[in-house]
Amino acid sequence: MLSKKYLSYAVIILVTVLIGAYLLVIKKDTKPVSPEDLTSQTVQIKFTDKSFKYDSSAFKKESSLSVASFEEDEKWQGDGEADIVAVWDGDMSLLLESKNNAKKEASLAKTSDLSKYSFLKLAVYQKTDPTDLEVFRLYFSNKDKSNGAYYTFTNLNKGWNVLLIPKSKFSPLSGKSTSTFDWGKIEKVGFELASKANSSTTMNIDSLTAFADDAYTSDWLTNNSLMLDLAKDKDGAVHILARNYGASTALLKKLSGLSNFTIQAKLQPMKVAARSGLFIRGDYKTNYGYYFMIDGVNGNRWQIFKISKIDNQTKTTDLKKGTIDNFTVDENKPVYLKVEAKGIAFKYSLSTDGKSFTQLGEVEDSDIKQGGIGIAVYDRGATVFDNFEFSQ
């Protein structure tokens, strides 16, 4: 018979073996969870209200301020030249060119009050190799430039760049503190450009605008908020302006999970040969959805197509398209688009007054069952959108 001493040893050994075996099984069947193993899912609550409206009344006139448009009526002084080729907005931009590290400068004598604005947005076209750029900066100052603030641009890409410039990131001119500069009493705005030695750099500058905040993007879902902007009409009313920059679609945040509905909106295309319109049952992340597009300025084409996954590939499928013989898009007159969706049936209509609609196409398609509602802009276009009216 085993003594109590040896019996105790046996029990301890047995317990140790069992615990070891258990831990071995646990280690084999489990592994640490890495961030790559975790997937996040974005969920949107289905919009259940019977109706919804979204228009320019959501914005105050003070939401944005055009600081410089670079059009013919502005008298820029210095080394800049007017250019009508590389243009972001309007009919012309300001062209600056530097060779062999020569400092070039252009300035505009203009009184501005930017005290209530938090950031600026600027469009620049870097025509030459960005590595040849030594310095490019924007400044605001008093008349003799003895007091002011400047911002130096870095990391520009070749082609168009849309730049957001927080006012808090400006540095003082002449070694003074920016706290001594009164943003409410600006008398001059200007740009300075210099290339590196033994090289040249060319920059087109356009559309300098100040914004009170970025609240205008909060009602939308898009892959890049730089797609969205604000535009003022001749009466000073502020509207959403969408560009084909950084993204091509945006969805109204509230209008999600929808299948059967009617939606109409007012559009004012601003570019020639650039399509824009409504994005239906859409997914802004993948751009899957139905599109109802109208031609750009001076055009008369319309198009209905879908982007979806077919055989595990993203494909664009034309559903219907055509022309309107007695109509062209006018840069000074809006058009209205309307879509009626019910199950697999869609009706697409156009109006010039928002009241009397002409049906352009009727389509049946069962590919995309539901999604959001929003806007689309293609072909480097720019379009002002307003007066969204939704019902279900």
pLDDT single digits (tens) 87-114: 999 999 999 999 999 999 999 999 999 9
Q: How does DSSP assign 91-136, residue by residue?
A: S-EEEEEEETT--EEEEEEEEE--TT--EEEEEEEE-S-GGGEEEE
pLDDT tens, residue by residue, 251-278: 999 999 999 999 999 999 999 999 999 9
- Provide the total of helices (H) and of strands (E) in the chain, helices listed first: 1, 27
pLDDT at 360: 98
Q: Which amino acid is at 18?
A: L
* 51: pLDDT strictly greater than 70: yes
pLDDT at 45: 84
DSSP 8-state assignment for residue 184: T
Across residues 148-156, what is the average pLDDT?
96
Q: Which helix (H) or strand (E) holds 374?
A: strand 372-377
pLDDT at 233: 87
Across residues 312-340, what is the average pLDDT?
96
* 38: pLDDT strictly greater than 80: no
d(CA 290, CA 243): 19
d(CA 320, CA 338): 15
CB of 118 closer than 8 Å to CB of 166:
yes
Name the residue ranges covered by the structural domains of the chain. 51-60+214-391, 63-211
The third-level CATH classification (topology) of the domain covering 51-60+214-391 is: Jelly Rolls (2.60.120)
* 59: pLDDT strictly greater than 80: yes
CB of 215 closer than 8 Å to CB of 58:
no
Q: Give CA angle at 296 (294, 302), nearest 5°.
A: 25
Entry pTM: 0.85
pLDDT at 4: 47
Domain 51-60+214-391 and domain 63-211 have a common topology: yes
Mean pLDDT of the chain: 90
Across residues 322-331, what is the average pLDDT?
95
pLDDT at 58: 82
Across residues 169-189, what is the average pLDDT?
85
Domain 63-211 has what CATH class? mainly beta
